[in-house]
A and B are shown apart, each in its own frame.
Chain A
Amino acid sequence: MIESVVKTLLYVAPFVVIATFWVMAVRERRAAGDPTARGFFERNGWVVASYLLIAVGLWAVVMVVLPQLTMVDFSFHPKLPPKDYGGPKDHYTLENYHYFIFGSTTERESLNIIHLRAFGLTILASVGVTIFTFFFCYPIAYYMAQVAPPARLRLIMLMLIVPFWVNEILRAFALRILFGTSGLINNVLVALGLVGEPIDFLGLDIGMYTGLAYAYLLLMMFPLYNAIESLDKNQIEAARDLGAPWWHIHAFVVLPFAKPGVASGCTMVFMLSAGALAAPQILGGPNSLWFTPIVYDRFYQAFNWPQGSAYALILLLTCIAFVMAVLRVFKVSLGEITR
């Protein structure tokens, strides 16, 4: 009973929000009393207006909002065979979340160490990858934005974009060849006599971290570049004339100005690393447990879809909370980073 009520409310909610805004818009237009103001249908005509409404409704409501809401709802259900859906055994439960913490749907004796550790590690490693890509990209972004002549800038842009067009799997594969026990790096190290035995880069997860940084480098580069590019060169000149050492200029002039770009780049790299699937699957060592492949296994090895949804939701919410917290600390608004 309550299940179907909640679900109905869930599905009606988006339409209520749209209707509320629509009514507000109409009332405000009437109150303003501007005779040239036209409503949505008057402005576009029936044909185009219907196309716009259907297309955006399909997208925003049917493709984005409803699936997310369904996933949230689904994660609070037990695992059931299809015939029991909507039956008496179908009720709201926290057992999937319980399992994430305690490793069992009912007991509380021990913690689910493997999953909790993988989760924590994923968040920490994503932070690490984000910080690394920031420092790695910054010099090039600064050079592109403030120093490079236009022809050189065009060339660098092209050189940055080309590898980015190559498939994620193939980029991971390329790194696997490079880092493998009989890969080039090991061959060179052994040939030079630096190490006696090949180093297991993949087993140590070095390959995976490199792969993540490699995959999302450009998502840091472009926001950084865009932000630094709009900084007036005179400000840098002024700082230099006043005797600021070079690192003062970057730390106290360029970076504060480029803060929205930094935030935007960091948000994207962090979110995508935490949700990465290809790099951990291909480059992760046998003992590495990244959280996304665990989510994948909930679905396709444990065949426990509600639990998989719960795990996916935990990941999503943690990422969002984390990003929001960081934005607050750095006093950047969400509007600024999506600009």
Chain B
Amino acid sequence: MTSRAIFRLMFGFYSLVFFGFLFGPLILMGVTAFNTPTYPQAYPFESFTTQWFADLISDRDLMDGLVNSLIIGAGVVLLAVPVGLAGAIVMTQVYWRARGLYYLLVVSPVLMPGVILGISTVIFWKDVTRVTDAKFFYDGFFLTILGQSTFISAYCMLVFLARLQRFDTAQDDAARDLGATQFQVFRDILLPFLRPAVLSASVLAFLSSFENYNTTTFAILSDKTMVTVLAGRVRQGTTPAISALAVLIIAVTLIGAMIYEVLRRREAARAARAAATASDDVLERLEAPAPGRA
């Protein structure tokens, strides 16, 4: 056996360990959702049951949390996507001496611990409420949407920036030479160009909002979302019902993630046709930020 073959064998074993670590726990959890013992157990597999799923439906707290999560997710999409778009456009125009500071400022929420974003949002708006006496601001939904949007807007901005880099400014000049107003250029040229990015930013924003815990747990105040209910349950004890819920959430998230992937690929394919180089295509896919990656 050559040393190269030994190397390959070792690497093969290593990737097996790596991906085993990545998928193993999730698969095991999935198995426990269909097993009968009341403590989540994957092995030995006693017998198949869907009882744990039935338990979920009758769980009021979880269902309320789910509805709240959906509302908050929609709110975050409505706030973070337009803000991220504006952030990206401003990035392309901002005064060069201020660019570093601006970039640092808007990307910092991605690196900052989520708990701190939640805490600072709550404290600030509590203060605003005290000064203005407007009770409206001190509301779990409002605060959660704002708190989550601080960093989700940055995700959206990165998605838009990646696409804006390919925007041909000659189009913009041509339209203006033909007499279009700046608003028309924005509405009829820039926005249609950015449409795929708007879609993928929306999916990304919704999923990031839906699964957020660290910021939400502070900002939600006395309300609850799906994930905060879930966290409470997990801390109280382990039952297969949580596994069942996990299976459902994973299924939903995977569908969402697939939609996101498809959108991104379609966009990448379109760009590849335009640019007509294979290397660009690869670059494209890698450039679109994965969640949580700045």
Taking beta carbons and an 8 Å cutoff, which residues of A are in contact with B? 17, 21-22, 24-25, 28, 40, 43-45, 47-48, 51-52, 55-56, 58-60, 63-68, 70-71, 74, 82, 85-86, 136, 139-140, 143, 150, 153-154, 157-178, 180, 182, 184, 187, 214, 217-219, 222-223, 225-226, 229, 267-268, 271-272, 274-278, 281-282, 292, 295-296, 299, 305, 308-309, 312, 315-316, 319, 334-335, 338
Contacts and interface: CB of A to CB of B under 8 A. Distances in A.
B62 interface: no
A242 B89 CA distance: 48
A150 B246 contact: no
Contacts of A150: 282
Contacts of A168: 211, 213
B234 A172 contact: yes
Given A168-B211, A271-B113, A51 B257 contact: no
A48 B119 contact: no
B171 interface: no
Contacts, number: 257
Nearest to A213: B21
Contacts of A275: 112-116, 214
Among B24, B86, B235, B250, max chain A CB count under 10 A is at B86
A316 B106 contact: no
B26 A166 contact: yes
Given A56-B83, A59-B153, A277 B217 contact: yes
The 6 closest A-B pairs by CB, nearest first: A275-B113, A45-B182, A55-B86, A67-B124, A174-B25, A67-B120
Contact of B130 (A17, A85, A267): A85
B234 A52 contact: no
A104 to B, nearest CB: 23
A51 B42 CA distance: 54
B48 interface: no
A286 to B, nearest CB: 12
A214 B284 CA distance: 27
A173 B242 contact: yes
Contacts of A334: 104
9 contacts: A59-B83, A59-B153, A60-B106, A67-B117, A167-B253, A170-B230, A184-B28, A184-B42, A309-B119
A20 to B, nearest CB: 9
B268 to A, nearest CB: 11
A295 B104 contact: no
A162 B146 CA distance: 27
Q: Which of B93, B98, B120, B125 has the most CB of A within 10 A?
A: B120
B162 to A, nearest CB: 13
A268 B108 CA distance: 11
A308 B122 CA distance: 12
B18 A140 contact: yes
Given A55-B83, A222-B290, 18 more contacts: A24-B95, A43-B93, A56-B87, A59-B149, A65-B105, A67-B120, A67-B150, A139-B11, A157-B285, A159-B22, A161-B257, A167-B230, A173-B29, A175-B25, A182-B39, A274-B113, A282-B235, A338-B104
